[in-house]
């Protein structure tokens, strides 16, 4: 399948992408293939062999309708744009971003729209290393509306088994908490969205977690 070509194919990696992801092409992919589609894009990013995209052509081809393969809930961190780090084009994925990739009612509704209404086949929650939201939660930051958002991390902090310094200055601990937060988000999505849980049980979608390393550029499933 053309959309799943990885860095092993120089021709596929360098060919210009003239159109956005079509409904036929998206529907032919399994949830596992969609996950591979995303990870293959990250492999291209790491190798520096991005697809030569025609964004204007992708814009025109998607103007009458969109058929994204996935919805990615990621942090609003300026270094963690999934479209860039996974070499995705216009129309490839729904991108939901909020500090700390926190799951809330609005994000759940957005995911339900993406999968149940628009046909996306993967829900990916992507955290990243050195997350400022995680640091803030560890430090018990109180700042307007951010206070409630950071409170969503408390259970992840408590659930993270770590023998070293449990402070925001210890990046290893920060990353461990962020990973725990991602892992906790997956059953939370299933619990709070019967719609998504049912789609996953039927094999129509896959709910997965991932971590992005801002220093190495690698995305890893967790």
Give a three-class secondary structure readout of 57-92: HHHHHHCCCCCCCEEEEECCCCCCCHHHHCCCCCCC
CATH number at residue 81: 3.40.1050.10
Identify the pLDDT of residue 21: 83
- Residue reference for tokens 């052509």: 57
Cα 121-38-203 angle, rounded to 5 deg: 25
Q: In the prediction, which pLDDT does 212 show?
A: 98
Q: How confident is the prediction along the chain (222 residues), in pLDDT tens digits per residue?
A: 334 334 333 333 334 566 778 889 999 999 999 999 999 999 999 999 988 888 787 778 778 778 999 999 999 999 999 999 999 988 899 999 999 999 999 999 999 999 999 999 999 999 999 999 999 999 999 999 999 999 999 999 999 999 999 999 999 999 999 999 999 999 999 999 999 999 999 999 999 999 999 999 999 999
**pLDDT given at position 19:** 76
pLDDT reported for residue 17: 60
DSSP H helical ranges for the chain: 10-14, 23-27, 31-47, 55-62, 82-85, 105-112, 132-138, 146-151, 154-159, 171-192, 194-201
Q: Which residue has the tokens 């930051």?
A: 141
Instruction: Note the pLDDT of residue 51.
Output: 84
Which distant-in-sequence residues (6+ apart) come within 8 Å of 58 by Cβ?
17, 18, 19, 20, 89, 90, 91
Query: Which residue has tokens 């290893």?
Result: 172
At residue 8, φ and ψ (nearest 5 deg) are -70, -15
Count of domains observed in the chain? 1
Q: What are phi and psi of 221, to 5 degrees?
A: -70, 145
Confirm if 98 and 182 have CB atoms less than 8 A apart: no
Q: Domain residues for 123?
A: 2-221
127 sits in which H/E element: strand 122-128
């Amino acid at each position: 399948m053309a959309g799943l070509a990885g860095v092993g194919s120089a021709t596929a990696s360098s060919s210009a992408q003239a159109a956005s992801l079509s409904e036929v092409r998206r529907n032919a992919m399994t949830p596992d293939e969609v996950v591979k589609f995303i990870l293959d894009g990250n492999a291209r990013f790491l190798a520096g062999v991005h697809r030569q995209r025609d964004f204007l052509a992708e814009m025109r081809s998607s103007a009458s309708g969109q058929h994204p393969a996935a919805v990615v809930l990621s942090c609003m961190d300026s270094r963690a744009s999934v479209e860039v780090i996974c070499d995705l084009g216009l129309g490839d994925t729904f991108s939901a971003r909020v500090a700390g990739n926190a799951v809330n009612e609005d994000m759940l509704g957005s995911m339900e729209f993406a999968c149940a209404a628009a046909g996306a086949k993967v829900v990916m929650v992507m955290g990243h290393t050195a997350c400022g939201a995680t640091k803030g939660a560890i430090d018990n930051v109180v700042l307007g509306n951010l206070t409630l958002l950071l409170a969503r991390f408390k259970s992840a902090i408590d659930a993270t088994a770590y023998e070293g310094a449990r402070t925001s200055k210890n990046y290893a601990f920060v990353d461990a908490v962020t990973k725990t937060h991602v892992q906790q988000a997956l059953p939370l999505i299933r619990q709070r969205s019967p719609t998504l849980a049912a789609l996953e049980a039927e094999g129509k979608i896959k709910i997965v977690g991932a971590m992005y390393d801002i220093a190495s550029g690698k995305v890893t499933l967790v």
